[in-house]
Amino acid sequence: MENSSSSMEQQQQHGEQQGAAWSSMIIIAMRMLYQKAKLVHTDLSEFNILYFEGHLYIIDVSQAVELFDDNANDFLRQDCLHVSGFLKKRGVAVMTVRELFDFIVDPSIAEESVDSYLDEVQQKIVNRGDISVVDEIAESVFLHVIRPERECQGGDEVTWYADGDKIVRNAYNPVTAYAFGTVFAYGVTSSGKTHTMHTPGREFLLRVSYLEIYNEVINDLLDPTGQNLRVREDSQGTYADRGY
């Protein structure tokens, strides 16, 4: 059929200009699904977004979850990752996964301001050019380490999401934020942990690793280049060799 609908994957030959138009349509649809329908798709990709007569239609919504689901924000991050990856493959300059996530969950963006907001973001993307290594690491941390948390206040659920590596913000009132940090002091009983931590004038150097071990493969979740690390042993003990 000449006018039959097709998936985004089947429409990939339309080029970069078409991809830029799709980009705005998709991310606005994702925001509307979250803000108005109070749903997260959970399996959003180019294979379940249909294109027909100049419009996009999201299908396979039966597995969507409501926002109070414990894993809703984790699912949303994966949806953002899939959509962002598809658009990048089509040569479209897109937000980072984290920027897309923040755009979707931010209730302070008025509906009539969405287009101007996206214009500003697009200009920011053009100005910054390629993503820096620091930004890639921050993206990896957001995807693998920082999990948006939830709490209930007066019976109403409140979502908290990451803003940087030390700040969490209230999704319904982004000006409300908390800074956080943790210091671990390890030692046997009576070894002086409390005395050491409470002694004025001391300075501490902390080195932190966050490793994933899955199917006998070790990945560094704080460094996107630290994949499939080798385990080695020296006189000081066992360690994951990053090759530098």
Residues assigned a catalytic role: 43, 60
Those residues with Cβ within 8 angstroms of residue 75's Cβ, 6 or more apart along the chain or in another chain = 40, 41, 42, 65, 69
Q: Are 63 and 69 in contact (CB under 8 A)?
A: no
Burial zone of 28 (CB within 10 Å; 0-12 exposed, 13-18 middle, 19+ buried): middle
Residue 27's nearest CA partner among 65, 75, 74, 83 is: 83
Q: Are 104 and 31 in contact (CB under 8 A)?
A: yes
Residue 93's nearest CA partner among 66, 63, 67, 125 is: 125
